[in-house]
């Protein structure tokens, strides 16, 4: 009987992308995805960036201890950023853990599980640097219509609030041919939308000496037949160049959506964060993006309450939010992350000050995003129906999906209309809220897609690592980790 597995993911979308690799590796090694909670192997893919990451992990491990005591064959593995940071401490704190693997050796997981089972003792393997690009690993993707494709891992910046550089290392760029081969493989499986991932996509190519490599890559994705939507995350404002704007505007399948972290609107805070752009440069990029693509939806990340942030600094952030006209913003309250330079900075702000500013920021963000969304009433976006979001809500009779600009659209479905996640519809916006749009008229067009067929048939999208040059899954060798969080 095949052993079953379950992967529990913490953190950002990039960790979710790593987990697809972990699932793919375990599939390739003969495990099967567990249909219920009692898996033979439970893998925690951890994040060290989010607050309380340790508490959550050790709490969950504690819950599993009695279960494991009752089932001798059960194994528990812990990987990801927290494993890279805590290393052997994990098995000291939770001695019932069988395997600890780091961000640079995801590919070793099947071998480590095997070895731990054979030797009946915990295996801890953490590597300090990347050896082989993680995207060469086999993948099991949960979505039939959209896929993440990593173009680089690691980061050469040193933002003072961020743990990524110390856990994920320097930027490594994947070769364009490999990226495009993976995109093509996904499209061959019926995938319609691809998001290119990197900590700093604008510096893509720095490792192989082509500063315009990212815009060239965007243009090259435009040549792939059947690829309808291309997105990317995240660009860094300091490295943002106009050739990327031109490529976005001139490549038909690249969505007019830009997610560009602002973090703060205060130049003093940006300096303390070691973010080497200033608010004027940031706003200048947005102007040029909108000049080339007037319909562009711009989203961002903002941190409030960074050490030393004054009321004046905070007001500068509110000013930039108003000027930038964001379509949405991910907002974070600053809190200490051990191991980052900001953790030991003087002038850490009291929690209530951070909370109060955060509340005011949310109010302004919602005012801005609502005003931006209202402009779309009467427009007719094309919506890619989404899994989860795509389930019909029994009380409203609506399904949901994403417009090309990334906005969430809830649309009315008539009884008997067989629309599936992965299908594409057009519909007219009748109502706008700060975080979504509604379309309560009839669906104007419905296109059935191969992704919708695959969803209906319950097929997972799999990419075999060997296709992309993986020399032998499960061999006793070290494989690298993937990207870290988007912050
Ligand atoms: S916040 Fe982003 S750009 Fe800054 S160090 Fe972290 S990963 Fe790099």
Predicted pLDDT at 462: 67
Q: What is the mean pLDDT of residues 134-158?
A: 86
pLDDT band at 126 (very low <50, low <70, confident <90, very high): confident
According to DSSP, the residues that pair with 382 across neighbouring strands are 426
How far is 190 from 376, CA to CA, in rounded Å?
30
Q: Are 244 and 215 in contact (CB under 8 A)?
A: yes
How far is 138 from 467, CA to CA, in rounded Å?
9
What whole-number percentage of the chain has pLDDT above 90?
69
Predicted pLDDT at 474: 25
Q: What is the mean pLDDT of residues 74-84?
A: 92
Residue 58 corresponds to which tokens in the numbers above?
Answer: 């050790």
Q: What is the mean pLDDT of residues 25-45?
A: 91
Residue 59: C-alpha distances to residues 89, 94, 214, 446 (Å): 15, 10, 41, 46
Ligand 1 mutation target, pool 49, 152, 159, 160, most atoms within 8 A of CB? 159
**199 C-alpha vs ligand 1 centroid, how far in Å?**
6
pLDDT digits (tens, 9 = 90+) for 207-225: 899 999 999 999 999 999 9
Let me know if domain 4-125 sits in CATH 3.40.50.12160: yes
Task: State the closest ligand 1 atom to the C-alpha of 162, by its place in the atom list counted from 1.
Answer: 6
C-alpha dihedral sign at 5, 168, 10, 392:
negative
Closest CA to 384 of 192, 213, 232, 163: 192
Whose CA is closest to atom 6 on ligand 1? 162
Q: Where are the domains of the chain?
A: 4-125, 135-373, 382-454
pLDDT > 90? residue 232: yes
pLDDT digits (tens, 9 = 90+) for 360-380: 999 999 999 999 999 999 999
How far is 170 from 207, CA to CA, in rounded Å?
10
pLDDT digits (tens, 9 = 90+) for 309-351: 999 999 999 999 999 999 999 999 998 888 899 999 999 999 9
Predicted pLDDT at 465: 53
Q: Are 342 and 161 in contact (CB under 8 A)?
A: yes
Mean pLDDT of the chain: 89
**Residue 216 per-residue DSSP state:** H
The CATH fold of domain 135-373: pyruvate-formate lyase- activating enzyme (3.80.30)
pLDDT > 80? residue 288: yes
Q: Are 116 and 98 in contact (CB under 8 A)?
A: yes
pLDDT digits (tens, 9 = 90+) for 431-450: 999 999 999 999 999 999 99
Task: State the closest ligand 1 atom to the C-alpha of 236, by its place in the atom list counted from 1.
Answer: 3
pTM (whole model) above 0.75: yes
Predicted pLDDT at 84: 86
pLDDT digits (tens, 9 = 90+) for 94-122: 999 999 998 888 888 999 999 999 999 99
Q: Which residues line ligand 1 (CB under 6 A)?
A: 155, 157, 159, 162, 164-165, 199-200, 236, 487
Task: State the closest ligand 1 atom to the C-alpha of 168, by its place in the atom list counted from 1.
Answer: 7
pLDDT > 70? residue 463: no
């Amino acid at each position: 009987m095949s052993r079953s597995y379950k992967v529990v993911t913490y953190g950002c979308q990039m960790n979710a992308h790593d987990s697809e690799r972990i699932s793919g590796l375990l599939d390739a090694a003969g495990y099967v995805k567990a249909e219920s909670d009692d898996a033979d192997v439970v893998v925690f893919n951890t994040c060290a960036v989010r607050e309380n990451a340790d508490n959550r992990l050790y709490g969950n491990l504690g819950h599993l201890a009695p279960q494991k005591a009752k089932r001798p064959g059960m194994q528990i593995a812990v990987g990801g950023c927290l494993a890279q940071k805590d290393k052997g401490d994990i098995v000291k704190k939770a001695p019932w853990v069988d395997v600890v693997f780091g961000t640079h050796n995801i590919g070793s997981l099947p071998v480590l599980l095997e070895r731990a089972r054979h030797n009946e003792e915990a295996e801890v393997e953490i590597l300090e640097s990347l050896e082989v690009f993680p995207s060469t690993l086999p993948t099991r993707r949960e979505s039939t219509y959209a896929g993440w494709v990593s173009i680089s891992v690691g980061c050469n910046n040193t933002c003072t609030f961020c743990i990524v550089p110390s856990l994920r290392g320097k930027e490594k760029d994947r070769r364009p041919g490999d990226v495009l081969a993976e995109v093509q493989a996904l499209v061959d499986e019926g995938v319609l939308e691809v998001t290119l991932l990197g900590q700093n996509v604008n510096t893509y190519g720095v490792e192989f000496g082509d500063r315009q490599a990212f815009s060239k890559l965007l243009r090259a994705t435009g040549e792939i037949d059947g690829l309808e939507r291309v997105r990317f995350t995240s660009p860094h404002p300091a490295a943002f160049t106009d050739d990327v704007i031109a490529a976005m505007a001139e490549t038909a399948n690249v969505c007019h959506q830009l997610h560009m972290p602002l973090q703060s609107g205060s130049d003093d805070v940006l300096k303390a964060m070691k973010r080497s752009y200033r608010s004027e440069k940031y706003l200048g990029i947005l102007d040029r993006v909108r000049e080339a693509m007037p319909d562009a939806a711009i989203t961002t990340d903002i941190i409030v309450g960074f050490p030393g942030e004054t009321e004046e600094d905070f007001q500068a952030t509110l000013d930039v939010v108003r000027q930038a006209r964001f379509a949405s913003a991910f907002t974070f309250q600053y809190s200490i992350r051990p191991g980052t330079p900001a953790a030991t900075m003087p002038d850490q702000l009291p929690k209530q000050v951070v909370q109060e500013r955060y509340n005011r920021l949310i109010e302004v963000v919602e005012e801005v995003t609502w005003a931006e969304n209202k402009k779309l009433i009467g427009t007719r976006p094309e919506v890619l129906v989404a899994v989860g979001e795509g389930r019909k809500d029994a009380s409203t009779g609506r399904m949901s999906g994403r417009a090309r600009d990334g906005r969430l659209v809830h649309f009315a479905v008539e009884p008997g209309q067989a629309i599936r996640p992965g299908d594409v519809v057009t519909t007219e916006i009748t109502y706008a809220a700060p975080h979504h749009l509604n379309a309560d008229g009839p669906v104007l067009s419905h296109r059935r897609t191969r992704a919708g067929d695959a969803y209906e048939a319950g097929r997972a999208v799999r990419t075999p690592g060997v296709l992309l040059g993986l020399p032998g899954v499960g061999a006793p060798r070290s494989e690298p980790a993937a990207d870290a969080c988007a912050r």
